[in-house]
Structure 1
Amino acid sequence: MAFKHLFKARLNWTSVPKETAPTTKQYLKTHQIAIEGKDILNISAAKAFKGDPGLYNPEDLLLSSLVSCHMMSYLYVCSQNGIDVMSYQDGAEATLEVLENGSGRIIEVRLHPKVVIKQQEKIAEALNLHKKANELCFIANSCNFKIVHYPTCTN
């Protein structure tokens, strides 16, 4: 039986005049996302798209969602297989392709999880569990781009 969960986010943006050439209208891209019971997220476009480089952008948040979800899925499959994870780090990267018409999309994400486990004899199994974690990851299952894993594991 499938279960459905509803997630809500509220966006708030107000036009702020920005000086540009008289024939060009440009908008500041800074806005807020509110999720009930949580701190407000201040967001902008990426610096490459004339956003505020000091704020998170949608691409940052997409990559963060994917790397976080993969870790949680990985911890779950490790617990199911009796593997004691001591630490988990990842230096994830996403490649955004922008076309001449201004459209674009993420074309690939590379995850580089570095996992430390307690049991040396389970290192090979721990490495293989990244595939299972990817199959379970809610965010990975929602993506239409390639997700590549380059895991390492030590004890």
Structure 2
Amino acid sequence: MTDHHYALAVTWVGNRGTGTSGYRDYARNCVLSAEGKPDLLGSADPTFRGDRGRWNPEELLLAALAQCHLLSYLHSAVNHGIVVTGYSDDPVGTMSQVGQGGRFTSVVLRPRVTITDPAQADLAREIHREASENCFIAASVSFRTSRRSWSPADQPASEKVATRSDTVRARSSYDAAVTSTNAVPPTTRTNTLAVKVIRPSSRTGR
């Protein structure tokens, strides 16, 4: 086993002069910084009196899961000889609040992948599970993370989309890792995983 270490600084910049003298007397704004990187402006969810123009912790968690899956997927694609030329995702998450606390109950990733070889469309869908199993962030959370790509109806008519219905169940090592006894019981859902195929002759000059 190899340990990797990470560090950053979080500085609250929301003191309006009287500190936390009252619930409405201070801003939730903060700055996240790390050596050699641009600062990230943070705050709370606007529901909790945060600044909507800054990143909140809930969005950062969602971003971490989506980015980790993206990077794991690209690595799996290389290992399987799949040439990926495009990848986009529009993840959504649900957090349930109970009293003054709360917890995430689910995150759904909705990746769209562009590949060069149409014969590899099925394999390109299948390696999402491998990518999930190798995602460090997904393995570190206790709620269920699943995948659902856009349906063919959401794709422009000019795009060639290969689709197949996949049933996602809590049966792999990845699913077990992100499902705990305290989490909302995972449900069996049928998701449509979409892969767009771009033949080499149709590539742009970029």
- TM-score exceeds 0.5: yes
Q: Quick check: 1:121 aligned with 2:119?
A: yes
TM-score, with length taken from structure 1: 0.91
Taking the aligned partners of 2:82 and 2:29, their CA distance within structure 1 comes to 43
What are the equivalent positions in structure 2 for 1:10-25 lying under 5 Å apart?
Answer: 10-14=9-13, 16-17=15-16, 24-25=22-23
Any conservation in 1 of the 2:14–2:30 contact (CA below 8 Å)? no
What is the aligned-residue identity percentage?
32
- Pick one of 135, 138, 145 that aligns with 1:147: 145
Taking the aligned partners of 1:81 and 1:25, their CA distance within structure 2 comes to 54
Taking the aligned partners of 2:94 and 2:141, their CA distance within structure 1 comes to 14
Taking the aligned partners of 1:6 and 1:149, their CA distance within structure 2 comes to 28
- Backbone CA RMSD of aligned residues: 1.6
Any conservation in 2 of the 1:18–1:28 contact (CA below 8 Å)? no
What are the equivalent positions in structure 2 for 1:104-115 lying under 5 Å apart?
Answer: 104-115=102-113
Corresponding residue of 1:53: 52
Aligned residues: 150
5+ residue gaps, structure 1, are: none
Any conservation in 2 of the 1:10–1:33 contact (CA below 8 Å)? yes
Q: Stretches of 4+ moved more than 2 A in 1? A: 23-27
Report the Cα offset of residue 24 of structure 1: 3.9
Corresponding residue of 1:67: 66
Taking the aligned partners of 1:95 and 1:66, their CA distance within structure 2 comes to 13
Q: 1:16 to 1:90 in 2, by over 3 A?
A: same
Q: 1:34 to 1:44 in 2, by over 3 A?
A: same
Q: For 2:63, give the aligned amino acid.
A: S
Corresponding residue of 1:44: 43
TM-score, with length taken from structure 2: 0.69
Q: For 1:61, give the aligned amino acid.
A: L
Any conservation in 1 of the 2:62–2:92 contact (CA below 8 Å)? yes
1 or 2 for the larger relative contact order (CA 8 Å, sep ≥6)? 1
Q: For 1:152, give the aligned amino acid.
A: A
Partner SS, residue 60 of structure 1: helix
Corresponding residue of 1:29: 28
**Deviations 1:63-115 (CA, angstroms, capped at 9, x unpaired):** 1111011000000001000001010010100111111x211111100000011
Report the Cα offset of residue 17 of structure 1: 3.0
Report the Cα offset of residue 15 of structure 1: 5.0
Any conservation in 2 of the 1:98–1:104 contact (CA below 8 Å)? yes
Partner SS, residue 106 of structure 1: strand
